Amino acid sequence: MINTKLGILAAACAFALAACSDKQPAEAPQAAPTAATPAPAPTEAAPQDSMQAMTPAASAAPATPAADVNAAANGKPTAQITDCSTEFEGTDAMQYSISSIVVPASCTDFKITLKHTGKLPVAAMGHDVVITKTSDMEAVDADGRAAGQDNGYVKADDPRVIAHTKLIGGGETTSVSFPVSKIKDGGPYTFFCSFPGHSALMKGSISVQ
């Protein structure tokens, strides 16, 4: 598991994400592609806790079977729901605090609140929450990147965007509400951060149950 995580981490850092770079040298040998354990992790079971795996304690832990990679959505919890709303966090380590959102089918509207608990400014570590069909995510992300920071990295009036918050920096909070009917059928749906490069780590599933 650890080797797997580091393998994934190496891939994540290869995205040239500044958040990883300062810590990478110490772990680089283990993260090399030639690591004994092959990296079997499906990309959808994204390495959302891979940053935490870089701590010395985690590195010293014994390897566990690769099957664990799919367990419990990488160790991150499902969002806690309160009165048809949820609040979760984004960090300076380019992470959401949750890995999935399950919206109660009894809700008419649902509200998502994102709290950026970091300190970095929006230009360096901006976060938002964008909801799309999973199959649309990549294209919406690319178009958002092209739209630039002035547009919060979301293309204006993009019909594939079901809902999105504004882009925020450290210390800020933002919310968005949307009709649950929009994600009831035709899924699966994904939420992700559209800041360039972030969706590699900052994404999760959103469904109605």
Contact present, 103 and 110 (Cβ < 8 Å):
yes
Distance (Å, whole) CA 162 – CA 8: 29
**Nearest residue to Cu ion, using CB?**
193
The residue type of 17 is L
- Nearer to Cu ion (CB atom), residue 76 or residue 127: 127
198 is an interface residue for Cu ion by CB under 5 A: yes
Q: What string of DSSP letters covers 61-72?
A: SPP--GGGGGGG
Nearest distance, CB of residue 57 and Cu ion, angstroms: 26
Position 84, amino acid:
C
**Least spacing, CB of residue 105 vs Cu ion, in Å:** 29
Query: Is 116 a residue that touches Cu ion (CB under 5 A)?
Result: no
The CB-of-18 to Cu ion minimum distance in angstroms stands at 12
Q: Which helix (H) or strand (E) holds 114?
A: strand 109-116
At closest approach, how far in Å is the CB of 51 from Cu ion? 13
Return residues touching Cu ion (CB under 5 A).
127, 193, 195, 198, 202
